[in-house]
Amino acid sequence: MTTRRDFIKKAGVAGSGLALGQLSPSIMTNPARKGEKVKLACIGIGFRGSEIIKELNKTGLAEIVALCDIDMGAKHTQEIAAMFPNAKQFQDFRKMFDSMGNQIEAVSIGIPDFAHYVVAVHAMSLGKHVYVEKPMARTFHESELLMKLAKKNPKVVTQMGNQGHSEANYFQFKAWKDAGIIKDVTKITAHMNSARRWHGWDPKISKYPEAQPIPSTLDWDTWHLNTMYHDFNEKYHYGNWRCWYDFGMGALGDWGAHILDTAHQFLDLGLPNEVTAVKLDGHNDYFFPMSSTLLFRFPERKGMPAVDITWYDGVNNQPPLPDGYGLSELDPNIPVVAGQKIKAATLNPGKIIYSKDLIFKGGSHGSTLSIIPKEKAVEMQSKLPVVPASPSNHFKNFLLACQGEEKTRSPFEIAGPLCQVFALGVMAQRLNTKLLFDRTTKTITNHSFANAMLTGIPPRKGWEDYYRI
């Protein structure tokens, strides 16, 4: 297994941390040529990870050469293991790279939020292209470091898995923005009001869950990677990790990238200058509130007016709807997660975009926008531009980029600031406060403790060098 010293040496580290210069020729992956399949290693092969692998394989552009999961003997990892019997199997991604790094050109990362960063850093530092499920990192600082690493190594292809960035809404939003249909936006309401995993838990919690026996096939210590150790409990595992501040990013980190991604990119929102926890029901120090209302304020940018985004989550915390809103439709293309599709509700995940002259209604993922009320939509119909079709879905786009045929639509340079917005929102949730943020210095100016939290808690012993970039 790669030791800290070995990793530093292989990654071309100068002094005390990972070098941000160009990767050395000895470890740089040669891009797959057109017509050749991309040699892909898949890290995290159960639940959402398995669905990512299936979609990448479905393109016909990938050769799955390695599978890695901390529980290769579990029932939920057996389907993928059986699908690719010739792929070598590992429980530790470091051992995988040690054993067959020169046979791997790209990786998919479908593991808990807190672990995205170190695996992505390791892969990128060895010249491997990276597809990572959203959010690309859990903390503000981790996203910052990943963006820097990607910028210094432009031959490494990166893609964050917010699939709507390659579907109809992405191309529609861009076309409508370029044509001046979407302009002078001043307010956005974003909502995700479906039930979440933690909604049945007791928010009067005063300690972490009691230890339970660790499943015999599970490498629980390695599961933690860089974050502090917790005694095993089923409320952390099988996707429940996203409920906890220590491991996940709640409803905002889970769904925000599928709802706000196009508005964030094409309105050039960047980072907010203010984030406020307006309402938190069931607030506690351990897991996310039962419902949250968060206000993000973005200043004027490049001739565009200031924008307020209000985020609503929680079953009984739905936003006010404008006249003429109509029905809330659920995009049928929302991917299956852990074998289950999201259930339709009275108000499905989505957004309402308010501009000076028009109001737009939209859903999540690839759902297209519509103008409301209906009478206004009819009036605008003849002015709407032709929207080009997507040349490739999100998975094919990544693999074609690995072959040098396309550029990814959600590279770290675009996905990173979006994830930093969510990291700031989670901090406001956790502290139940208002944060003033300096976009130039990237510091919180009114709360010294929150400013220190931008970097997160120190990594576990043995993982420090991943942060010395």
Query: Sign of the C-alpha dihedral, residues 262, 265, 268, 271?
Result: positive
4-165+399-412: in CATH 3.40.50.720:
yes
Give the separation between CA 66 and CA 56, rounded to whole angstroms: 14
**Contacts of 288 by beta carbon, 8 Å cutoff, 6+ apart:** 196, 198, 243, 244, 245, 248, 250, 251, 429
Task: Please report which confidence band the pLDDT of residue 327 belongs to, taking 50, 70 and 90 as the band edges.
Answer: confident
Task: Determine how many CB atoms are found less than 10 A away from the CB of residue 245.
Answer: 17
Q: Is the pLDDT of residue 331 over 90?
A: no
Q: What is the pLDDT of residues 155-171, one digit of tens each?
A: 999 999 999 999 999 99
Residue 26: enclosing H or E segment and its boundaries? none
The confidence score (pLDDT) of residue 334 equals 76
Say how far residue 146 (Cα) sits from the centre of its chain: 13
From 429, 444, 432, 449, select the one nearest 274 (Cα to Cα). 444
Q: Is the pLDDT of residue 15 over 80?
A: no
Structure tokens at 223: 């599961």
Q: What is the pLDDT of residues 95-149, one digit of tens each?
A: 999 999 999 999 999 999 999 999 999 999 999 999 999 999 999 999 999 999 9
Q: What is the pLDDT of residues 55-80, one digit of tens each?
A: 999 999 999 999 999 999 999 999 99
Q: Is the pLDDT of residue 10 over 60?
A: no
Task: Please report which confidence band the pLDDT of residue 309 belongs to, taking 50, 70 and 90 as the band edges.
Answer: very high
Specify the residue for token string 């289950």. 340
- For residues 240-267, give the mean pLDDT: 97
Q: Identify any residues that bridge with 411 across adjacent strands, giving them in sequence order.
A: none
Say how far residue 414 (Cα) sits from the centre of its chain: 11
The confidence score (pLDDT) of residue 336 equals 67
Per the model's pLDDT, the better-predicted residue between 365 and 335 turns out to be 365
Residue 63: enclosing H or E segment and its boundaries? strand 62-68
Average pLDDT, the chain: 92
Point out the least confidently predicted range of 209-223, 340-354, 437-451. Answer: 340-354
Task: Please report which confidence band the pLDDT of residue 356 belongs to, taking 50, 70 and 90 as the band edges.
Answer: very high
Q: Is the pLDDT of residue 19 over 50?
A: no
Contacts from 18-25 at CB under 8 Å and sequence distance 24+?
Answer: 18/121, 18/125, 18/149, 18/465, 18/466, 18/468, 18/469, 20/148, 20/149, 20/152, 20/153, 20/469, 21/152, 22/152, 22/153, 23/125, 23/126, 23/127, 23/153, 23/155, 23/156
The confidence score (pLDDT) of residue 35 equals 72
The confidence score (pLDDT) of residue 18 equals 46
Give the separation between CA 34 and CA 13, rounded to whole angstroms: 32
Task: Please report which confidence band the pLDDT of residue 329 belongs to, taking 50, 70 and 90 as the band edges.
Answer: confident
Q: Identify any residues that bridge with 340 across adjacent strands, giving them in sequence order.
A: 337
Residue type at 347? Answer: L
In CATH, the architecture of 167-386+424-435+437-449 is 2-Layer Sandwich (3.30)
- pTM for the model stands at 0.93
Burial of 374 (0-12, 13-18, 19+ CB in 10 A): exposed
Give the separation between CA 87 and CA 53, rounded to whole angstroms: 13
Q: What is the pLDDT of residues 361-394, one digit of tens each?
A: 999 999 999 999 999 999 999 999 999 999 999 9
Q: What is the pLDDT of residues 206-252, one digit of tens each?
A: 999 999 999 999 999 999 999 999 999 999 999 999 999 999 999 99
Given phi > 0 = left and psi -120 to 50 = alpha, else beta, which region is 177?
alpha
Task: Determine how many CB atoms are found less than 10 A away from the CB of residue 416.
Answer: 25
Task: Please report which confidence band the pLDDT of residue 26 belongs to, taking 50, 70 and 90 as the band edges.
Answer: very low
Residue type at 434? Answer: K
From 118, 38, 39, 42, select the one nearest 77 (Cα to Cα). 42
Domain ranges, ordered by start, for the chain: 4-165+399-412, 167-386+424-435+437-449
Residue 113: CA count within 13 A, CB half-sphere: 28
